[in-house]
Chains A and B, each alone.
Chain A
Amino acid sequence: MKIKLLLATLGAILLSGCQSDDERPTLVVQRFFGECGAVYGKSIDVGKAETECGIVTTMLNRFAAENPDINVKVNIVAWPGYAQLSAQIAAGDPPDLVTMHQSVISDYQARSLLEPLDEMLADAGITTEMLTPAGQRGTIKDGRLYALPWDTIGRLWHINTALMAEAGLMRNGKPLLPRNPEELIDHARKFKAATGKPYLVQAQVAAPDYLVANLYTYLLAQNAVVFPDARHIRLNTPEARKIVGLYRTLNEEKLTTVAQDFPSATANFVNGGGGIFPTGTWMIGPYEEAARSGTSALKGYAVAPFPQLWGQSAAFVDGHGWVVPKDDRSSAERKAIVRFLSFLARYNSDWTRTGHLPAFNAVLSSSSFTQQPHRRDIATMAATGQQLPGFVQRQSAIQGLIGEELEAAVSGVKPIDRALADAERRVNELLSQI
């Protein structure tokens, strides 16, 4: 009898362990942007946080602190985390909110794996008109909003003005930027002759998307129709050949760094290794800080959108957004999501300290944004920045395929014509299988 009682008690204890006593709605937030718990693990002062990781970590901490009635669980995934997300969705266990590049949204939206967010955003007090044109273009698919746009990210020319001055490429305190491809080569040669350093710092190793951003930008500048429809790409064109030819000349004459990966190129620029580093908006903060510190080899710093080498001014942009994968959710869980979306919108201004452009018009015109260094120089990108057409799926895989062929073309391994034809064939084959 005693043994039976003991077993029954033991069983009851074990079973009680299986039952959760937390009846709050659970919000599983999955994000990339890195792990920085050691520095920001307990921080809730969003205004004092710096860097993508620091700001997003602090924001999530703050949301959890402000909403004790919601059980917030945060999954930090290695960038970009889409393989993990796909596996979670395939297993029927998706998170509630996920960071997603706007260029990736079409993949999931076309397979009906994402919730349209129009209603939830309206409940959170967010209307389409409040969003920047670039933010809208990145998140509206088939007339519906599939994400809360969070920023606009694009490539800029980060410029070492001290070295540009040494090369005689400054006028009235501003860098003299080329107005056509011939002028770019001319500037690059002058720069190298004067400083002994390459004009461009570029990440050309293990960074296939790097060259693709240049190609897309200058194709958009020439009004080229890159994707005539959802099943075809048009790459082997005179416009594309001109662009790739320019970058090949830069490589051939060693007017650019050729053997650097992204971390090396990033460090090389701050160490005064070259004149201009065409890279993302997210580097404005660190480079501005380095230039101001006085201890770095970066003695002067300016930033500008890509120069207009062909046709018109253009910028190929992407952006981050918050999406909600489809799942069965209770009313309380949906309300928790709405609160989170509203919270995110409130802190969009803080996010711009990363260097990214805001997703909200009000932030774009606010002094908290415009008074940050160099932001006035790049603010136009939030309106003019263009993405690929919304019907183009697998944009990340497509960038990988094109980047691989561009690497071969720019480094001289393949003739430009053949590389572009191969890229076109490979992308068309991929698109035909969707």
Chain B
Amino acid sequence: MMERRVSGMVFVLPFIGLYCFLLILPFVMGLWISFHRADLFGSRHWVGLDNYVRLFADPVFYQAMGTTFTLAVLIVPALTLITLLLALALNRASRSAAIFRGLFFSSSVLSVTIVTLIWRFVLTPDSGLIAKLLTAMGIEPLPFLSDPNLTVPALAITTIWWGLGLPMMLFLAGLQQIPQDMYEAASLDGANRWTTFFRITLPSLRRTTILVIMLQTAAQLQIFGQAQLLTQGGPSGSSRPIVLYIYEVAFGRWELGYAIAAAEVLLLLILALMLAQYWLSTRGEEVQR
């Protein structure tokens, strides 16, 4: 028994070693730097908790956190629902379904630069595609990239379009795992399509849905490229997510300690949110067991 445990340890040791070296060690080093006034070039001056005190008194930090959570709330449910519907529609072995699966997945292979370039052409207030369509219809164009009330939805739309691929594939994989005989039994029992969907399909996709929601929540709380390239966080910081704020503080203002303090807070928030989601979503299963 002991021998098996040791051999098991030997197998996982390389991964644990790399994990500690690449993730745990930088995290601890980052935590240490966050107690310093530090710049990018090695300057360190101990300030204790000062960076955290400043952070929790910084209105721009709260604005960025608010924007980040708003984006997550706009993106995650919509993305989950849209990709579930797409997966349901395309879960068939026809040529057209295969083409559409490829089509909807294609946006995911684009880099963030290309995605924002495409959406800039669409959203640019005076000369974008939407502006031209609205102008042609005699309607005043919407300033998607300059109105503080529209920039966050614009970022959400861009991100949803970009992120359709992976969750759709996860749902498709989940759908293909559901045994066909369950549907046959339901059919014999005279269940209609809605009953089949709500009693068989949706419960069977429970784990996939949890996975999609957790992955997307973690990803959207770290949204960066779209905001940096499409709006630069503006106007007046209204579309600046927290990671863009961290980037600006670290590389624009050279306040590394302060930026890392913000990053540590973000990490703890994501961790807490993931654990809470996991706990909430698995609580029912524990009761059933």
Contacts and interface: CB of A to CB of B under 8 A. Distances in A.
B146 A258 contact: yes
A38 interface: no
Q: How large is the interface on A (under 10, 10 to 19, 20 to 34, 35 or more residues)?
A: 35 or more
Name the residue in A396, A405, A407 with the highest tally of chain B Cβ atoms < 10 Å from its Cβ: A407
Interface in B230-289: 230-232, 234-237, 248, 251-255, 258
Contacts of A411: 235-236
Contact of B232 (A208, A394, A413): A208
Given A86-B254, A206-B232, A411-B235, A111 B41 contact: yes
Contacts, number: 91
B254 A259 contact: no
Contact of B252 (A90, A397, A407): A397
Given A259-B125, A260-B125, A86 B236 contact: no
B14 interface: no
A87 B255 CA distance: 14
A322 B127 CA distance: 37
A205 interface: yes
A261 interface: yes
A404 B255 contact: no
A80 to B, nearest CB: 11
Nearest to B144: A259
Nearest to A393: B254
A332 interface: no
Interface residues of B, number: 32
A430 B234 contact: no
Contacts of A259: 125-126, 141, 143, 145-147
Nearest to A108: B41
A430 B253 CA distance: 7
A400 B248 CA distance: 10
A426 interface: yes
A208 B235 CA distance: 8
B60 interface: yes
Contacts of A400: 248, 252
A83 B127 CA distance: 31
B236 A433 contact: no
Given A397-B248, A407-B234, A261 B253 contact: no
B98 to A, nearest CB: 37
B252 A396 contact: yes
Contacts of B54: 429
A170 interface: no
Contact of A413 (B39, B43, B141, B236): B236
Contacts of B254: 86, 107, 394
B236 A405 contact: yes
Contact of B146 (A87, A205, A404): A205
B253 A407 contact: no
Interface string B102-143: 000000000000000000000011110000000000000101
A89 B41 contact: yes
A259 B43 CA distance: 42
A113 interface: yes
Name the residue in A86, A268, A404, A413 with the highest tally of chain B Cβ atoms < 10 Å from its Cβ.
A404
Contacts of B39: 111
A407 B236 CA distance: 6
A204 B146 contact: yes
A83 B232 CA distance: 16
B155 to A, nearest CB: 12
A380 interface: no
A267 interface: yes
Interface string A393-414: 0101100100011011001011
Interface string A248-266: 0000000001111100100
Given A258-B146, A264-B125, A430-B253, A206 B231 contact: yes
Contacts of B41: 86, 89-90, 111, 113
A166 B54 CA distance: 55
Nearest to B239: A206
A7 to B, nearest CB: 28
A90 B42 contact: yes
A261 B124 contact: yes
A193 to B, nearest CB: 20
A82 B252 CA distance: 8
A206 B234 contact: yes
B148 interface: yes
A260 B251 CA distance: 27
Nearest to B232: A206
A404 B258 contact: no
B255 A433 contact: yes
Nearest to B51: A433
A90 B40 contact: yes
Contacts of B258: 433
A429 B61 CA distance: 14
Contacts of A405: 236
A86 B251 CA distance: 8
A414 B124 CA distance: 24
Q: Which of A83, A87, A268, A433 has the most CB of B within 10 A?
A: A433
A413 B127 contact: no
Contacts of B44: none
Contacts of B252: 83, 394, 396-397, 400
Given A267-B127, A429-B54, 15 more contacts: A83-B252, A89-B41, A90-B40, A90-B41, A113-B41, A204-B146, A205-B125, A206-B145, A260-B146, A397-B253, A400-B248, A404-B237, A407-B234, A407-B235, A413-B236
Closest 5 CB pairs of A and B: A259-B125, A408-B236, A259-B143, A83-B251, A205-B146
Interface of B: 37, 39-43, 54, 60, 124-127, 141, 143, 145-148, 230-232, 234-237, 248, 251-255, 258
20 contacts: A86-B251, A90-B42, A111-B39, A111-B41, A205-B143, A206-B234, A208-B232, A258-B143, A259-B141, A259-B146, A260-B125, A260-B126, A260-B146, A264-B127, A396-B252, A400-B248, A400-B252, A407-B234, A407-B235, A407-B236
